[in-house]
Amino acid sequence: MNVVLQPIVNFGNWLWAFLATAVIALCGEEFAPSVLYTVKILLLILCIVLPLMGFMAYLTLLERKLIGWMQVRIGPNRVTFFGIRALGGLAQPVVDGIKLLLKEVIIPTGANKFLFVLAPIMLMMPALAAWAVIPFGPEMVLANVDAGLLYIMAITSMGVYGVVIAGWASNSKYAFLGALRSAAQIVSYEIAMGFALVGVLMASQTLNLVGIVEAQHGNLGLFSWFYIPLFPFFLVYLIAGVAETNRHPFDVAEGESEIVAGFHVEYSGMAFALFFLAEYINMILVAALCSLMFLGGWLSPFPESWGLLGVGGFHWLFAKIMFVLVLFIWFRATFPRYRYDQIMRLGWKVFIPITILWIAVLGAWMQTPLWVWWK
């Protein structure tokens, strides 16, 4: 392991030292620390965003392949690298990306041009900004802030503006209907989601995401994670997460059969690709939060006494994120779309009462000696 990694680490250190001298030479001793700090943060942001984009691209391929297999089809299998047939379909996301980049962005007549262009950016910005506080390991986090969970709730709640503005600025009634549906749905499910998070912070006694994962650390391996005492919250969060990302079976905002493609019907080319990107990045974000809050984050499912298997790390977090993502894809292949009034009923009349009830139960439970999760 070290034989492979050591030269890379050495090279990184050398590059950083070179950069530091260059910056000091350019801006002088006084400003160099703040400039270097900014450069460092920007590099770290790149280290999160670039793999995320790649992951997102191949998630679309995984989704198409998985749904294909579930429906006894083959899925994309033509586009390959260098004509190697065994790699069938692996180049599909790359080609899709290039196609969307090269297409013309059409702005409809009568559309509000500024807002029309702004909408995909408004959707993409919160989807990426939320990753600032997501920890990938005990030390691997860009901003280890105390109010991390609140920050995520606040930032993700801004995503709805992208959808609403896109629908309004398109000057199309299908887009507008989609935007109205989506806005009502996102606002409704955010309440249930917020209540589910209240349960998590009651159990972990902190808003810090690293702290939440560490609160799930115990001798029992996967039985000390929060999905057991907070099972109703886990379910509500998972389902509300699907609804928040406008995915099947809650995708009435797109509803192909009724309103063509909903809020992004007038978008083409890269503007459309941004909506697509934001949806998948939000999906990965919900999966990551689900893994961090209920499935123990980077902790190993086995007890620590099991040696190498019991050691936590990023691979466990990645496995959990993949598990939740495959669940999302599976939902899409399995369930028929909800009717709109039933979506609202589920959000307001089922989920909110369940979460409020379980907050009361949890509060009482935590006062008794039967509570074994929080020390």
Partner 1 sequence: MSFHDFIFYAFSAVLVAAAIGVITSRNPVHAALLLVLAFFTSSGLWIQLQAEFLAITLVLVYVGAVMVLFLFVVMMLDINLVKLREGFWSYLPLGAVVGVLLALEMGAVLWTFYSRGVIEAPALPANYSNTRELGRLLYTDYVYPFEIAAVILLVAIVAAIALTLRTRKTSKYVDPAWQVKARSQDRVRIVKMQSENRQD
Which member of 116, 131, 136, 151 binds partner 1 (CB under 8 A)? 151
Question: Binder to partner 1 among 52, 56, 130, 164 (CB under 8 A)?
Answer: 164
When asked if residue 341 is in the footprint of partner 1 (CB under 8 A), the reply is: yes
- Distance (Å) of CA 91 to CA 57, 82, 96: 10, 10, 9
Instruction: Report, in Å, the least distance between residue 358 CB and partner 1.
Output: 20
Calpha distance 227→97 (Å, rounded): 37
Instruction: Please report which helix (H) or strand (E) contains residue 96, including its range.
Output: helix 92-102
Q: Which long-range contacts (CB under 8 A, 24 or more apart) does 219-225 make?
A: 219/303, 219/304, 219/305, 220/303, 221/300, 221/301, 221/302, 221/303, 221/306, 221/310, 222/296, 222/301, 222/302, 224/296, 224/373, 225/294, 225/295, 225/296, 225/299
Residue 359: strand, helix, or coil: helix
Give the DSSP per-residue string, 117-146: HHHHHHHHHHHHHGGGG--SSSS--S---T
Of 47-55, 223-231, 252-260, 341-349, which part binds partner 1 (CB under 8 A)?
341-349
Residue 157 makes contact with partner 1 by CB under 8 A: yes
Task: Quote the least distance from Cβ 34 to partner 1, whole Å.
Answer: 6
Q: How far is the CB of 113 from partner 1 (least distance, A)?
A: 13
Structure tokens of 324? Answer: 């939740």
Query: CB-wise, 34 or 219, nearer to partner 1?
Result: 34
Q: Nearest Cα to 108, choosing from 43, 155, 169, 160?
A: 169
**Residue 157 beta carbon to partner 1: minimum distance, rounded to whole angstroms:** 3
> Quick count: other Cβ atoms within 10 Å of Cβ 11?
10
The Cα 67–Cα 282 span in angstroms is 20
373 binds partner 1 (CB under 8 A): no
Q: How many amino acids of this chain bind partner 1 (CB under 8 A)?
A: 27
Smallest distance from the beta carbon of 168 to partner 1, in angstroms? 5
CB within 8 Å of 141: residues ≥ 6 apart: 133, 134, 135, 209, 210
CB-nearer residue toward partner 1: 97 or 194: 194
Residue 92, judged by CB atoms within 10 A of its CB (0-12, 13-18, 19+), counts as: buried
218 Cα distance to chain centroid = 26
Among 160, 212, 259, 284, binds partner 1 (CB under 8 A): 160
176 binds partner 1 (CB under 8 A): yes
The span from the CA of 26 to the CA of 29, in Å, is: 9
User: Which one of residues 153, 198, 326, 327 is an interface residue with partner 1 (CB under 8 A)?
Assistant: 153
- Positive or negative CA dihedral for 138, 141, 147, 150? negative
Which of 63, 96, 190, 251 forms a contact with partner 1 (CB under 8 A)?
Answer: 190
Tokens of residue 118, six digits: 């702004």
Nearer to partner 1 by Cβ, of 174 and 225: the residue is: 174
Please state the closest distance from residue 175 (CB atom) to partner 1, in A. 12
Contact flag: residue 180 with partner 1 (CB under 8 A): yes
Binding mask 281-300 for partner 1 (x = CB under 8 A): --------------------
Which of residues 141, 155, 273, 293 is near partner 1 by CB under 8 A? 155
Piece in contact with partner 1 (CB under 8 A), picked from 47-55, 155-163, 241-249, 351-359: 155-163
345 belongs to the binding site for partner 1 (CB under 8 A): yes
Q: Which is nearer to partner 1, 219 or 334 (CB)?
A: 334
Nearer to partner 1, 92 or 188 (CB): 188
- Chain residues binding partner 1 by CB under 8 A are 34, 115, 145-147, 150-151, 153-155, 157-158, 160-161, 164-165, 168, 176, 180, 183-184, 187, 190, 207, 341-342, 345
